[in-house]
Amino acid sequence: MAEFLDLEAQDAVRMPWNVVPGTKQDSSHCGVVPIAAVYTPLKLLPSMPVLPYAALRCRNCRSVLNPFSVVDFVAKLWVCPFCLQRNHFPTHYHSISDQNLPAELFPQYTTIEYESPSEKSTVPPVFFLVVDTCLIEEELGFLRSAVSQAVGLVPENSLVGLITFGTYVYVHELGFGQIPKVYVVRGSKELTKDQVIEQMGFFAKRPKPATGVIAGVRDGLSQETIARFLLPASECEFTINSILEELQKDPWPVPSDQRATRCTGTALSVAAHLLGACVPGSGARIICFVGGPTTDGPGAIVSKNLSEPVRSHKDLDKDSAPYFHKAVKFYEGLAKQLVHQGHVLDLFTCALDQVGVAELKVAVERTGGLVVLAESFGHSVFKDSLKRVFQSDDYDLCLSSNGIFEVNCSKDIRVQGIIGPCASLEKKGPLCSETVVGQGSTSAWKMCGLDKATSLCLVFEIVKKEIPEAIGQSANNQFYFQFLTYYQHHSGQMRLRVTTLSRRWVAGPGSIQDLIAGFDQEAAAAVMARLVSFKMETEAEFDPIRWLDKSLIHLCSRFGDYQKDIPSSFSLSPRFSIFPQFMFHLRRSQFVQVFNNSPDETAYFRTILNRENVANSVVMIQPSLISYSFHSTPEPALLDVAAIAADRILLLDSYFSIVVFHGSTIAQWRKAGYHNQPEHVVFSQLLQAPRDDANAITKERFPVPRLVICDQHGSQARFLLAKLNPSATYNSDIPAPEREILFTDDVSFEVFLDHLQRLAVQ
Amino acid sequence: MATPGGPRPGSTPPNYNPSNVADGMQNLQINRPVGPPTSMANSGSFRPPPPFGQPPPPFSSSAPSSSSFPRASAMARPGPPPPGSGGPPQATFPPNLASNRPSGPPPGTQPPPPFGARPPPPGSVPSSVSSFGARPPSPGLNPFGSSPLASGPVGPPSSTSEPVSNGPPAYGWGAMQGGPRFPSAGSPLTPPVRPSPPTTLSARAPPPAPSMGSLLGSPPTGAPPGPMQAAPFSAPPHGVPPPSGSSPFSAPPQGVPPPSGSSPFAAPPQGMPPTSGSSPLAPPPQGFSPPSGSPYGHQAWAMHPPQVAPPPLMPGSVQAPRMFGMPPQPPNQAMATISPAMGPMGSSMAVPSKIDPNQIPRPMPSSSVILHETRQGNQANLPPPSTSDYIVKDTGNSSPRFLRCTINQIPCTVDLLTTSGMQLALMVQPLALPHPSEEPIQVVDFGESGPVRCSRCKGYINPFMKFIDQGRRFICNLCGFTDETPRDYQCNLGPDGRRRDADERPELCRGTVEFIATREYMVRDPMPAVFFFLIDVSMNAIQTGATAAACSAINQVISDLPEGPRTMVGIATFDSTIHFYNLKRALQQLQEIGSPGSCYLPLMLIVPDVQDVYTPLQTDVIVQLSECRQHLELLLENIPTMFHDNRTADSAFGAAVKAAFLAMKSTGGKLIVFQSGKFELFKILILPSVGIAALSAREAEGRTNISAGEKEAHKLLQPADKTFKTMAVELAEYQVCVDVFITTQTYVDVASISVIPRTTGGQVYYYYPFSAVSDSAKLYNDLRWNVTRPQGFEAVMRVRCSQGIQVQEYFGNFCKRIPTDVDLPAIDCDKTLMVTLKHDDKLPDGAECAFQCALLYTTIYGQRRIRVSTLSLPCTSVLSNLFRSADLDTHFACFLKQAAIEIPSSPLSLVREQVLNLCINILHSYRKFCATVSSSGQLVLPEALKLLPLYTLGLVKSTGLRTDGRIDDRSFWINYVSSLSTPSAIPLVYPRMMAIHDLDSKEVDGSRIPPAIPLSSEHVCDDGIYLLENGEDCLIYIGNSVDPNSTRQLLGISSDDEIPTQFLLQQYDNPLSKKLNDVVNEIRRQRCSYLRLKLCKKGDSSGMLFFSYMVEDKTPSGLSYVEFLVHVHRQIQNKMP
């Protein structure tokens, strides 16, 4: 498995099948785990060079010169590995020779970046804050200070705008002259961009052009007009702080049997229009803080009447959520607009109730926005996550913007689509498969917002039908993939990152062992998780458990080693051995078992899943468990109820939350205060160790996970227990008295495996 | 400053005492009881009750106490908007004080108008007076005029004789009072002497109409036939009682028959034809000198037999009322001779001219004060002319200020009314300003149970409810139903059939009382006093200075708003968007960065969507004045600069009003809009394309000012569409009253805009063409009067009538949702409603017919009150009685309003014809049925209505009915008329003109206003300077060859080349200028209007404007007065068989 990590370290790519089935038929035998790649375009690769010139492209397919190109040093030609087109080197490459290679031809630089100095965005990054005011005073206080702090962290030159909203949308004019001004827009009504432009007085001073699109300074707007709403942070920090300080709860009365009138949709729409008018095409983020459900205007998810509950998964399943589709449609439109403008929507929601993340998800995901879901604006999940967005230190998110992602691959491969934070640019071509998964029917995608963690899951399809005659010809058994990411680096420079991959393909009946050898079960689990989530969201009547089980059984019966109908004879190669366990936990995970969660939470989990890399995805599917005790150094423990012991501390990392679980004895000691006594310094260290580890995890993760510290038998312990394999339940045959048991009817992994073996061998 | 005048009691509580004011205007009299004696004693002793206009000097000289008194009263009077010039020159004041005077230019210079409202100077006197001080509004002016009154009125009651004793021959007044004293005063004799001057009037008619003589001829001298008939002369109004002592006193106008023999006066009348109700033109005896009281005699003889002679002694005190303001003037009498005599009495208006036409009837308002008791001897008294100066004592009927009927006897049948050609209508001015010397309206609290009412018609208890059955039951005088008297309200009856407690209970002895409303009368808590200011800040408004003027005016006016938690204010500005201000929130932090001025500026909330407006905040947009005063002031100072470079040409008037309405919806209140120039009427509510198209077409028409010929021209006088009407009804429903100040230089479609104020009980102020220099002062004063005058909110009004009569329709500024009531989101002392009446049955002859107007309203202090005014008038089946008891002013006001109503829907020519016909029909009826003149060559006019032709002529030539006016001017005129009070109706069509170049040479101590000159260019000399005012505008005409010295003294300009188009009246350091200012201020006080001053000179458009007011002149489009009389006469003759 290490080799997969090495590959990832070089190219930021993980593929379930690193040896690719060579024909359509072969690939169909591989079960439902598709030919796919999880690619992290901006992964920090310390050894990667950045070339200060523009990339050399194939004049036929526009792919970029790469180490897999065949170069004729004499003729000064190179052959594109994708389309086999022969290209002349331009004059500035004339000194090329096999002794004097440009960096992009170095074999180890399969991933490389170009930064051409001439291309630099003139507009500094823009942060448009959209702040909910329908909050109780306490929450508003938290929010105020958090936002104020964030504004302080924003780079000085970046532009900042502010909208607050409640019943109405209040667009604050930060660059006001004599008197502070606020434009008040009705919350219940959706405005068009033209209306916003007109109403915000963009053409008060000079006539509006009769035709054409209004777009920033270049097209029709004066800098002063824009500067009324978007001002460099250094100039408007004071103003924003005073506005925030004065910010009051939405003044409109809320009857006791009603929800506050909150027009999140309109506020976002106005923000999008404003950005569209002022800074189209340059990197801008709408950062939206929401504290409750949208109840008014487009994007409303529920009526104001409290007697009507917010939609649940059940309602969605039964299609009895009257607002849902309308709201989703609205946010799809918003997403489209933002993508068109190249702007990002980030969502910070803090509420005990749902706020509409399920509906907003589409806009966040298409634009590559960040989303954080917490219970309160005072909660560290929110506060620390927000800080992380603006922090520039070792854990910098490296927020980049305005990305365009393109794929080239060998002609026998088609792209079905991408599951991940991007939006299709609808660039159709021979590369596009008929079958669409995620954002498909294109070979180019917009990534309005992307950061070092953003990971795309590309799904491919093999279209070669005939079994090639000369399998042995090694030169011809490679598939090539090239990922091009053109983006605005947070320095403002435009960069192009090129990753070129080559994978061997195999075909025919004897190829199974090769396939097994190339199987990356973690990547496969991650891809399966994205796939199943995607299918649950898009396919009506989809039964995820059944689908996963069938896939697993199919995979096991193809790649397992067994004698037919003899379950006990079943065994799996080490390459596959953990995969069933992943599937077991995936079945139990929040991605599939949605009924424990609200639609908002599910949407949140899936959004995060869809932007994380393989390692993190695996943690989400199957949390890691580390055991701390006096008996040994910290060691990984089986994610099983059996791991619980009175004298241990367990550290569970389920990605969204980190649980420090004190066994009952440890808890007693701690309560007795032993760790404060000098003679028990070891105990104190033992207590501290898991916390240090938890902090380490917390620091580099976005969103910041919820940290739960609990004791055995405590109420918070449920965060751990829910994730454990229920190997011992209340109806287990032999409940050992001292062992923890789980009160669940879920099957344990052993039972699951038994069934799997039985079915796989049939 | 004026007010605070020395005399003002220092003790006056700061500003005012809420309760007083709250109670409506009545607070005035608080001192009353005290006052009379003192005043009499001191100042009054010798002086006949000084006429209104009397100059202050008396006071100053008088004992302190006395002076205080009058002054106090003055104070009390919520007078005219304190003209900035507070400056009625008070004797006490050093002239310099006048510095404030230009109060006019409120802009910036002086913050709170120092005048009126501000606390009195310390020095002032008697504590007793203090209550008066309470009246904040503009007392300034009053002191002068009123003070005399104060003493005067008081006097009469206490001692009849006293006044008489006065040296000055009281022309009208004195005579009256002195009735006994000056017995017959040759009057009887004189008449004979002067033969029919009246009759011959016409004869002297100007050459052009030589024939006139015959036409106009009034009855021959001797021919006393129709007493009423010959109006031309200023014969004392109709029923002037015979000279006999009795008549003056008792003489209820309705032909109380003077005991024939009773007085010498009576006798002289040449064969008083008892029968005819009309008085022949009293041939005024030549020598007839005012003091002689003979005039009465004259009229007296005109008296009708029917009169029941009231005992001469009767209410001795009351006699005054009979004095109509128009003392008969011998037609030919030279002005010179008369004036001295009159001077003292202040009847300055009598200005017979030297030319022949001067014998034709002209208004001759007397400036002496008339005492009027509403009922005498259990009969309704004929009210004095509305334009005269009178003091009412409410003795059962409502004061004519509140309720006036076109005819003071009600015809028993429709036929009778139809025959007479007269109108039957009431003018209702429920909150009319009282005279400072009148008793306040009494407030009656019935406690929990609320006022006693008829259980069938819901009429309120009043003096005419008849108690029977030992007081256990009462008969409603309105519907005739017999009700049980509530147990705790029962009282035994006296021998006269009245309740024994009738005199102690105001509701049983007063025509107007106010009841405390119980919860039953409230659908919610009484609303706070909300003032919301909406200011146009579009490019035009900013550039013309209108915004600055408005802000400055508001800034000064807020200090005049009542203190206390019930006063709420809000402010918004608008151009093509609407800007609200959060007045509660202060961005104090800004202070730190040290941009002074912005540190406390409130947050501006912009509502950009004018298609679909809303209010941006639920609270904080309208806040208690006390909480935001500083913010508000700072904001108002800054608004003009904040928008100084505004390039937005449009102003979304409709949307802004709607948005402000939404902000005020929960409370209601006054919305005061300042609108300049172009507005996007149709940007709201209707299809924009359609709307804008409609507007532009209309705008084009309006600008080109479609004049002659277009048949559809009057369409422009109707609102463009229903949008505003719909909105206005909604505004009214939520008790929002809209006043619009239009400061413009172009066509703005007043017709459409005015729908809103009219429907919501508001008012349009129109400054065209707006000039920041000369109009700012008026804007300020108008605004100030608007917010400080006595007013009520969320009002509902209904008029009930006795059986047989019912209300036909209401006209005025209100909203009507159910047929019987009118809703008045706000009502103030200036607003008048016309109520037309119709018969639905025959009335019993000799009975009385009652009208009751009930106004339920909330005072500015949040008390819920019901003001009930009851008027009971006798019914008659005698036609001549109708003519005798006709009320000229009311009648004419009725004509005026009907014409105004008609203009937008009919072509002008048709309206003019209708007006003429109304007039002719009446005169014809009179001629046919009442006049006894045999000669067909004589135009016989009913005495009471003798001025009707003149006023009708004025009406035909007025802005509203002229063909050549601007559309907007006409729309404004229509709108102005719709709520116009009766006293203001006359000057509107027949303005007052006076010479001011010789102010100092005419030392008239009776009045500060020089005598009026007839409105004829013959009276305008090239070497004179004239002032003409109609209650709204004031023109100063400078003749061609005026002595430059006087122009310099008066106006500060040395040659007529320098005559500015934008004029600001200033006081210069010379007596002439001071006098002029005094005069102007006095007029302002009288009119409760600041007047728009304009200089005119011959030869340009301003001169044309001036001469367009010369009603008696022949103009291209109209007849001269004399010609008109000829025309009328011919018409009448044509109708005669």
Looking up tokens 């200005």 gives B351
Question: Is the pLDDT at B261 greater than 60, yes or no?
Answer: no
Do B776 and B871 share a domain, yes or no?
no
Report the pLDDT value the prediction gives residue A736, as an integer from 0 to 100.
Answer: 57
Q: Of B588, B589, B623, which to mutate for an interface test with A (greatest number of A Cβ within 10 Å)?
A: B589
Distance of CA B48 to the CA centre of its chain: 26
Asked, for residue B284, whether it belongs to a domain, the answer is: no
In a domain, B538, yes or no: yes
Which of residues B210 and B505 earns the better pLDDT score? Answer: B505
Q: Are residues B783 and B636 in the same domain?
A: yes
Task: Specify the CATH number for the domain of residue B1082.
Answer: 3.40.20.10
Instruction: Write down the pLDDT at residue B677.
Output: 67
Q: Which two tokens stand for residue B816?
A: 């009507």
- Cβ neighbors of B666 (< 8 A, separation 6 or more) are none
Query: Same domain, yes or no, for B402 and B538?
Result: no
Q: What's the pLDDT band for B246 if we cut at 50, 70, 90? A: very low
The beta-carbon neighbor of B601 closest among A180, A185, A201 is A180
Interface of A with B (CB under 8 A): 168, 170, 177-186, 189, 191, 195, 198-201, 204-205, 238, 241-242, 245-246, 251-253
Alpha-carbon span A718 to A641, nearest angstrom? 12
Position A500 scores a pLDDT of 93
- CA A735 vs. chain centroid, Å, equals 41
* pLDDT score, position B264: 34
* pLDDT level of residue B102 (50, 70, 90 thresholds): very low
Asked whether the beta carbons of residue B616 and residue A246 sit closer than 8 angstroms, the reply is no
Residues B609, A189: C-beta atoms closer than 8 Å: yes
Residue B897 CA: distances (Å) to CA of B399, B555, B758, B901, B1108: 22, 35, 14, 6, 21
Q: What is the pLDDT of residue B695?
A: 53
Residue B171 has pLDDT above 50, yes or no: no
Q: What is the pLDDT of residue B419?
A: 92
Closest CB to B608 among A183, A241, A253: A183
Is the Cβ pair B601, A252 closer than 8 Å? no
A140 and A101 together in one domain: no
Note whether B679 and B666 are same-domain residues: yes
**Residues B593 and B640 occupy one common structural domain:** yes
Q: Residues A162-168: what's their mean pLDDT?
A: 93
Q: What is the pLDDT of residue B966?
A: 83
pLDDT in tens, A273-321: 999 988 888 889 999 999 999 999 999 999 999 999 999 998 988 888 8
Given B855, B876, B897, the domain boundary residue is B876
User: Residue by residue, what is the 3-state secondary structure of A74-108?
Assistant: CCCEEECCCCCCEEECCHHHCCCECCECCHHHCCC
Report, as an integer, the average pLDDT of B236-265. 36
% of chain B exceeding 70 in pLDDT? 62
Residue of A nearest to B647 (CA): A205
Please state whether A402 falls in left (phi above 0), alpha (psi between -120 and 50) or beta: left
Residues B608, A179: C-beta atoms closer than 8 Å: no
pLDDT of residue B697: 53
Band of pLDDT at residue B679, cut at 50, 70 and 90:
low
Q: Are residues A94 and A200 in the same domain?
A: no
A179 to B619: CB separation less than 8 angstroms, yes or no: no
CB contact under 8 A, B603 and A245: no
Q: How many residues does chain B have?
A: 1137
Confidence of residue B1039 (pLDDT cuts 50, 70, 90): confident
CA distance B165 to B46: 7
Return mean pLDDT, chain B.
Answer: 70
CATH number at residue A404: 2.60.40.1670
Place of tokens 């007596």: B1071
Residue of A nearest to B643 (CA): A178
With an 8 Å Cβ cutoff, are A253 and B618 in contact? Answer: yes
Cα–Cα distance for residue pair A503/A17, rounded to 1 Å = 9
Please tell me whether residues A350 and A272 are part of one structural domain: yes
Domain that holds residue A446: 1-118+399-464+477-519
In a domain, A546, yes or no: no
End position of a domain, from candidates A367, A389, A411: A389
* pLDDT for the residue B312: 35
Which tokens sit at A141?
A: 């206080």
Residues B1042 and B1091 in one domain: yes
Return the pLDDT at B252: 36
CATH at residue B780: 3.40.50.410
In a domain, B931, yes or no: no
**pLDDT band at residue A186 using 50, 70 and 90 as cut-offs:** confident
pLDDT computed for residue B713 by the predictor: 63
Q: Pick from A178, A238, A252: which is nearest to B641 by CB?
A: A178
pLDDT band of residue A388 (cuts 50, 70, 90) is: confident
Together in a domain, B1057 and B1004: yes
CB contact under 8 Å between B612 and A177, yes or no, is: no
Q: Which of A179, A183, A189 sits opposite B642 (nearest CB)?
A: A179
Residues A690-717 have a mean pLDDT of 91
The shortest C-alpha distance from B384 to chain A (Å) reads 56
- Residue A504: exposure state from Cβ atoms within 10 A (0-12, 13-18, ≥19): middle
**Which residues from B are below 8 Å from A246, CB to CB?**
585, 587, 603
Q: Do B590 and A242 touch (CB under 8 A)?
A: yes
User: For B538, which residue in chain A has the nearest alpha carbon?
Assistant: A204
Flag if A180 and B619 touch (Cβ within 8 Å). no
Based on the domain organization, do B677 and B811 belong to the same domain? Answer: no
- Are B755 and B815 in the same domain? no
- Reduce the secondary structure of B947-968 to three states and give it as a string: CHHHHHHHHHCCCCCCCCCCHH
Tokens 């506050």 locate to: A260
Say whether A181 and B598 touch across the interface (CB within 8 A): no
What chain A residue is nearest to B601 in terms of C-alpha separation?
A: A179
Shortest distance between the Cα of B639 and any Cα of chain A, in A, equals 9
Q: What is the pLDDT of residue B9?
A: 39
What is the rounded CA–CA span in Å between residue A302 and residue B725?
Answer: 37
Helix extents (H) in B77-134: 130-133
Specify whether B763 is located in the same domain as B824: no
Query: Residues B660, B540: one domain?
Result: yes
For residue A522, pLDDT beyond 90: yes
Q: What is the pLDDT of residue A732?
A: 67
Which of A195, A242, A251 has its CB closest to that of B617? Answer: A251
Distance (Å) from the alpha carbon of B660 to chain A's nearest alpha carbon: 14
A559 in a domain, yes or no? no
By CB atoms closer than 10 A (0-12, 13-18, 19+), residue B959 is buried
- What does DSSP say about strands A35-39 and A456-462: parallel, antiparallel, or unpaired? antiparallel
> What range does the domain containing B672 cover?
533-694+729-789
The pLDDT assigned to B62 comes to: 38
CATH classification of the domain holding A617? 3.40.20.10
Mean pLDDT of chain A: 88
Q: Are residues A232 and A299 in the same domain?
A: yes
Q: Could you read off the pLDDT of A393-408 as tens digits, one per residue?
A: 777 888 888 899 999 9
Q: Is the pLDDT of residue B109 over 80?
A: no
Does residue A540 form part of some domain? Answer: no
Say whether both A80 and A158 belong to one domain: no
Higher pLDDT among residues B281 and A697, named by residue: A697
Residues B629-639: tens digit of each pLDDT: 888 888 999 89
Q: CB A183 to CB B606 under 8 A?
A: yes
For residue A18, the model assigns a pLDDT of 92
Do the Cβ atoms of B905 and B479 come closer than 8 Å? Answer: no
| Contact partners, residue A101, CB within 8 Å, separation at least 6 | none
Chain position carrying tokens 């004869």: B203
pLDDT at B529: 92
Q: Which residue of A has its CA nearest to B610?
A: A199
Same-domain check for residues A202 and A269: yes
Residue A389 or B104, more confident: A389
Task: Give the residue carrying structure tokens 């002076």.
Answer: B67
Assess whether A744 and A628 both reside in one domain: yes
Q: What is the sign of the dihedral through the CA atoms of A172, A173, A174 and A179?
A: negative
pLDDT band at B1002 (very low <50, low <70, confident <90, very high): low
The confidence score (pLDDT) of residue A467 equals 59
List the CATH number of the domain containing B406: 2.60.40.1670
- Predicted TM-score (pTM) above 0.80: no
Distance from B589 to chain A by nearest Cα, in Å? Answer: 7
> What is the Cα Rg of chain A in Å?
28
C-beta of residue B974 within 8 angstroms of C-beta of residue B900 = yes
Quick one: pLDDT at residue B613? 83
Query: Which among B768, B789, B810 is the end of a domain?
Result: B789
Is the predicted pLDDT of residue A240 greater than 80, yes or no?
A: yes
* Same domain? A140 vs A216: yes
Tell how strand B791-801 and strand B764-767 pair up: unpaired
- Tell me the shortest Cα–Cα distance from B664 to chain A, in angstroms: 15
- Predicted confidence (pLDDT) per residue in B921-957, tens digit: 999 999 888 877 656 677 888 888 989 999 999 999 9
Q: What is the pLDDT of residue B21?
A: 36
Could you tell me which residue, B1094 or B183, shows the higher pLDDT?
B1094
Is A573 within a domain?
no
Q: In chain B, how many domains are there?
A: 3
C-alpha–C-alpha distance, residues B285 and A683, integer Å? 130
- Burial classification of residue A52, based on how many CB atoms lie within 10 Å of its CB (0-12 exposed, 13-18 middle, 19 or more buried): exposed
Q: What does the pLDDT read at residue A466? A: 67
For residues B749 and B859, membership in a common domain is answered with no
Reported ipTM: the value is 0.84
* Partner residue facing B608 (CB), from A177, A180, A199: A199
What pLDDT score was predicted for residue B708? 41
Tokens 């200060």, residue?
A52
**B442-455 per-position pLDDT tens digit:** 999 998 889 999 99
More confident residue, B896 or B602: B896
Same domain, A438 and A486: yes
Question: What is the rounded average pLDDT of the residues B295-315?
Answer: 34
Q: Which of B737, B755, B789 is the last residue of a domain?
A: B789
The per-residue pLDDT for range A438-476, each reduced to its tens digit, is 999 899 999 999 999 999 999 999 888 765 555 544 456
Contacting A with CB below 8 Å, chain B residues are 577, 579-580, 585, 587, 589-590, 593, 597-598, 601-609, 612, 614, 616-620, 635, 638, 641-642, 646-648
Is residue A287 within 8 A of residue A348, CB to CB? The reply is: yes
Mean pLDDT throughout A78-104?
A: 88
- pLDDT reading at B271 higher than 50: no
Alpha-carbon span A743 to A722, nearest angstrom: 10
* Cβ B418 vs Cβ B918: under 8 Å: no
Inter-chain touch A242–B587, beta carbons under 8 Å: yes
Of A201, A252, A253, which has the smallest distance from its Cβ to B577's Cβ?
A: A201
pLDDT-based confidence at residue B366 (cuts at 50, 70, 90)? low
- Using alpha carbons only, give the angle B162, B165, B167 rounded to the nearest 5 degrees: 135
Tell me how many domains chain A contains.
Answer: 3
Chain A residues touching B551 at Cβ < 8 A: none
* Same domain, yes or no: A384 and A282: yes
- Residue B609 with chain A: CB contacts under 8 Å: 185-186, 189, 191, 195, 199
Top mean-pLDDT range of A557-566, A725-734, B190-199? A557-566
Verify whether the Cβ–Cβ distance A184 to B585 is below 8 Å: no
Q: Quote the tokens at residue B526.
A: 């009484």
* Disruptive mutation site among B537, B587, B591 for chain A (greatest number of A CBs within 10 Å): B587
pLDDT of res. B712: 59
Cα(B329)–Cα(B286) distance, integer angstroms = 8
Chain B contacts of A252, Cβ < 8 Å?
A: 618
Among B585, B598, B605, B606, which would you mutate to test the A interface (most chain A Cβ atoms within 10 Å of its Cβ)?
A: B606
Q: Is the pLDDT score of A177 beyond 80?
A: no
Share of chain A above pLDDT 90, in %: 51
